[in-house]
Structure 1
Amino acid sequence: MTSVSGADAVILVGGKGTRLRPLTLSAPKPMLPTAGVPFLSHMLSRIRAAGITHVVLGTSYRAEVFERYFGDGSALGLDIEYVVESEPLDTGGAIRNVADHLRADDAVIFNGDILSGADLAALVAAHRTSRADVTLHLQRVDDPSRFGSVPTADDGRVTAFLEKTPNPPTDQINAGCYVFRRSVIEEIPAGRRVSVERETFPGLLERGRHVHGFVDDSYWLDVGTPEAFVRGSADLVTGIAPSAALPGPAGQRLVLDGAVVAGDAEVTGGSTVGAGARVASGARVRGSVLFDGAEVAEGAVVEHSVLGAGARVGKDAVLRGVVLGDRAVVGAGCELLDGARVWPEIELPDSAIRFSSDA
């Protein structure tokens, strides 16, 4: 990937991450441990690798957590600034809210919950070559009916922004990454909610402005749900998703410092075992994320699940597709399946069986 020069990066990280509760009760979604580091670390590594060094974070929920962890960004070779929304402004309003902190003529805007392998330098080059007002990263997906679709003309110009439909005319969707001319950002109304999908982008088309589409089919995943979060973390660990921030070699598992995994335990499928976490004899952990201090007892099975900090899974318990909040306890012999979520501090008694439920 060639280097980007003369561009800022803006990452929008103000959302509350309600789809990922109870994990996001204690931390913003972009700060959740993902393949051993906060999810945002993987995004920042891509930005730095592309040669962009000035980054503005648009924050709101638990804003102080970001600055406490990343500081001024110098440890990462970045210059990070923070802009806090006092009230929700939606994507367009959040972009406008950071305008006074931009330094370059072009700004690459990222939604803070997208894991992507798109070539950022090629994206910016396409924007500049086409002399576009805004360029959208458009991702080809197998099932575009789950998203709004974005058709383009032969020259790459975006022609429409379409809502979800059973039979979309294209497999191209808005991938949550944009390049804006700074002058276009300054045209967005300030101090109120603005949707880029429903107001900014359609408005530009109506006024005859050049909205360009950069289309590719690289790795892409919205990690906003527990299922996708687990998959994204596993893809990072196994090397399917690109990142320079992985704190260890890619492989079937990532075991952080201070974690203990019994010799006969199976930890596979891109699982992460956080610092101080323990996986006991005979346990099987597959495609899962264990936050710091989590424990899996003897003979337990944990598949495609997330265990919050200090959560405990009892002997011979079975968890498949489950989220445990911080310090939640699942008793011995329990069976939790299909999207069950256990809130922080909750203790389930031995042999409780629950399906697709919250506790």
Structure 2
Amino acid sequence: MKALVLAGGTGTRLRPFTHTSAKQLIPVAGKPVLCYGLEAIAAAGVHDVGLVVGDRGDEVREVVGDGARFGLRVTYVRQERPLGIAHALLTARDFLGEDDFLLYLGDTFVTGGLGELAERFRRERPDAQLLLSRVPDPTAFGVAELDESGEVLRLEEKPERPRSDLALVGVYFFTPAVHEAVRAIRPSARGELEITHAVQEMIERGLRVRATVGSGYWRDTGSVEDLLEVNRLVLEDVQPRIDGKVDADSSVVGRVRIAEGAVVRGSRIVGPVIIGAGAVVTDSYVGPHTSIGEGCRIDGSGIEYSVVLRDSRIDGVRLVTASLIGRNVTVTSSARPPGAQQLLLGDHSTVRVAG
């Protein structure tokens, strides 16, 4: 079995970050979202991976390389325009050949691994096997209707009146039968070849489509809120380790990982927290569920429940919370009254906030 991982797309909900970086490369708990998926694929015993990339393909190559560090063999597949998930299957047809394959959306985060799902697919080998999750608002997703045995009766893409609360979560297993279905569908109203339409075509042709309702945690990390929540979840399992320098005037409480080359002076760090290599935290408070990227500077400030990407600086700000701060960003205080700040800042930004 092969895997096809989608790492293209425009990431409109994460603008302005995706103007300068692929959305799958935004880090949570110090590691790009894409890497969690690649590690899960390797752990499931799938090692031949096609990585579908778009305009940010060079950045993805820089992070993933040939896949060897994940235990994978990676082949890059260029999708000239993001015309839908099913279109990506057409683009990768030569790579997929006549093999069964796992289709994985690169900005998906799933706990519990993929091994049990992959083994079930190998054992039962339906024409398609889908991973589903119950969601509070099914109108924002592809939605499945199942019978009592787990067979999929119908799929709808972002329906106004959903028949269930079971959403597609970006993990699919297919036999080569899907390729004929993909060739049979037409673009949707938004101009894309929808994977939901392809799977519905398989159902209408009488092919066997099964689903598993996941019991673990799942997020589509396409929004700031979801990225922060995934960061929180991953940090809950961080193992405390201090490889950097912490002076005697500082206190470190709970699960905190301080990378080699990082320096903490006169500060209080309350985990779970990750502080990246080369970062310097001075006279500051870094609170729970915060990831500080490599080379950052936090001076005389407070921050919690946030992600700060590499080489950014926060100086003299009383409290930053629930924020995603891009690369090479500068946040400084102003003369306005103090208070907590919630920020959405793209790469290379400079902003003045109340200190």
Structures share a fold, TM > 0.5?
A: yes
Structure 1 residue 307 displacement after superposition: 2.1
Between Structure 1 and Structure 2, how many residues are aligned?
336
**Do the aligned partners of residues 67 and 350 (structure 1) sit closer, same or farther apart at CA in structure 2, a change above 3 Å counting?**
closer
1:26 pairs with one of 17, 20, 35: 20
Find the aligned partners of 1:26 and 1:272 in 2 and give their Cα distance: 24
CA distance in 2, matches of 1:214, 1:34: 27
**What is the correspondence of 1:327-346 to structure 2 with a 5 Å cutoff?**
327-332=328-333, 335=339, 337-338=341-342, 340-346=343-349
- Alpha-carbon distance change, 92 to 148 in structure 1, aligned in 2, over 3 angstroms: closer
Consecutive unaligned residues of structure 2, counting only runs of 5 or more, are 243-253
Partners of 1:154 and 1:135 lie apart in 2 by: 16
Q: 1:254 to 1:25 in 2, by over 3 A?
A: farther
| Residue 11 (structure 1) aligned with residue 12 (structure 2) | no
Contact 1:303 1:320 (8 Å CA) reproduced: yes
1:137 shift after superposition: 0.6
TM-score (normalised: structure 2):
0.84
TM-superposed CA distance for 1:28, in Å, is 0.9
3-state SS in 2 of match to 1:159 = strand
Q: 1:233 to 1:247 in 2, by over 3 A?
A: farther
Once the two structures are TM-superposed, the CA of residue 139 in structure 1 deviates from its matched residue by 1.6
Q: Would you say 1:59 and 2:70 are equivalent positions?
A: no
Secondary structure of 1:137's match?
Answer: strand
Secondary structure, counterpart of 2:38 in structure 1: helix
Q: Does the aligned pair in 1 maintain the 2:178–2:202 contact within 8 Å? A: no
Stretch moving more, 186-195 or 34-43: 186-195
Quick check: 1:275–1:292 contact (8 Å CA) kept in 2? yes
Structure 2 counterpart SS, 1:48: helix
Hey, what does 1:355 align to over in structure 2?
Answer: none
Deviates more, 1:122-131 or 1:201-210: 122-131
1:187 deviation in Å?
4.2
The correspondence of residues 44-123 of structure 1 with structure 2, limited to 5 A, is: 44-102=38-96, 105-123=99-117
- Distance in 2 between residues matched to 1:72 and 1:88, nearest whole Å: 23
Per-residue deviation, residues 20-72 of structure 1 (Å, max 9, x unmatched): 23333332112222222222221111111111111110111310122223222
Contact 1:234–1:271 at 8 Å: present in 2 too? no
Q: Identify the residue that residue 246 of structure 2 maps to in structure 1.
A: none
Alignment partner, residue 228 of structure 2: 230
Once residues 327 and 339 of structure 2 are traced to their aligned partners in structure 1, the CA distance between those partners, rounded to angstroms, is 19
* CA–CA separation in structure 1 for the residues paired with 2:139 and 2:7: 26
Give 1:16 deviation, angstroms: 2.3
SS at match of 2:168: strand
SS at match of 1:257: coil
Partner of 1:195: 194
AA of the residue aligned to 1:318: L
- The 2-side partners of 1:255 and 1:236 are apart by 16
Residue in 1 that maps onto 2:327: 326
- 2:43·2:114 contact (CA, 8 Å) conserved in 1? no
Identity over aligned residues, as a percent?
A: 29
CA gap of 1:113–1:248, structure 2 versus 1, over 3 A, is: farther
Distance 1:104 1:124, change over 3 A: farther
- State the shift of 1:80 in Å: 0.7
AA partner of residue 327 (structure 1): N
Task: Rate the CA distance shift 1:106–1:51 in 2: closer, same or farther, 3 A.
Answer: same
Conserved in 2, the CA contact under 8 Å of 1:36 and 1:254? no
Match of 1:3 in 2: none
Q: Gapped runs of 5+ residues in structure 1?
A: 1-6, 241-245, 353-359
Query: Aligned equivalents of 2:44 and 2:122: distance in 1?
Result: 16
Aligned to 1:185: 179
CA distance in 1, matches of 2:327, 2:76: 28
SS in 1 for 2:234: helix
| Cα-to-partner distance string for 1:147-169 (whole Å, 9 max, x where unaligned) | 44312112211011245568755
Counterpart CA distance in 2 for 1:205 and 1:66 is 35
1:272 aligns with 2:244: no
Q: Deviations over 1:294-335 (max 9, x none)?
A: 22212x221222323222112243212223232222222665
Q: Deviations over 1:258-296 (max 9, x none)?
A: 22223542242x333222222222423332232222222
* Segment drifting more, 141-150 vs 171-180: 141-150
Q: Is contact 2:6–2:104 with CA below 8 Å preserved after alignment?
A: yes
The answer to whether the aligner puts 1:206 opposite 2:204 as a matched pair is: yes
- Aligned to 1:150, what secondary structure does the other structure show? strand
Aligned residue number for residue 218 of structure 2: 220
Q: In 2, Cα distance between the equivalents of 1:9 and 1:133?
A: 16
